[in-house]
């Protein structure tokens, strides 16, 4: 149980294009999902907290207009990198926290999406 998926797992795009990454909780409902960014050989940096049905909360220094987050249902959150540039190339990881039950204190992580912007 508690599986989180991400799609796509890897994407290569041209500079200036937009890329959408999906994060799904497969066997549980997640009121809250989190989006992280990880540069090579570094830790995860929280970008934003996504709450179902409301606006995401962005961390300091993260451009909300560049990284659009939508959490339209209890099992899906999307991150759209708009007008991507090479410096946006990174490993993006989402996580989800169960809405109710015994596992509400644990975040479950997706497998990540490797974005390469040419």
Partner 1 sequence: AQSVTQLGSHVSVSEGALVLLRCNYSSSVPPYLFWYVQYPNQGLQLLLKYTTGATLVKGINGFEAEFKKSETSFHLTKPSAHMSDAAEYFCAVRKNRDDKIIFGKGTRLHILP
What's the Cα-to-Cα distance from 50 to each of 14, 15, 16, 42, rounded to whole Å? Answer: 27, 26, 25, 23
Nearer to partner 1, 31 or 70 (CB): 31
Residues that bind partner 1 (CB under 8 A): 4, 6, 34, 42-44, 46, 49, 91, 93, 95, 104-112, 114
Least CB distance to partner 1 at residue 72 (A) = 21
Phi/psi for 89 (5° steps) reads -60, 130
Nearer to partner 1, 13 or 44 (CB): 44
Nearer to partner 1, 44 or 68 (CB): 44
């Amino acid at each position: 149980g508690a599986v989180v998926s991400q799609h796509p797992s890897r994407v290569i795009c041209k500079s200036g294009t937009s890329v959408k990454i999906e994060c799904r909780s497969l066997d549980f409902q997640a009121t809250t999902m989190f989006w992280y960014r990880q540069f090579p050989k570094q830790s995860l940096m929280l970008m934003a907290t996504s709450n179902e049905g409301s606006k995401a909360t962005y961390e300091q220094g993260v451009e909300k207009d560049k990284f659009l987050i939508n959490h339209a249902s209890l099992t899906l959150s999307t991150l759209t990198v708009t007008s991507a540039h090479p410096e946006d190339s990174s490993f993006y990881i989402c996580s989800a926290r169960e809405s109710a039950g015994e596992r509400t204190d644990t975040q479950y992580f997706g497998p990540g999406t490797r974005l390469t912007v040419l």
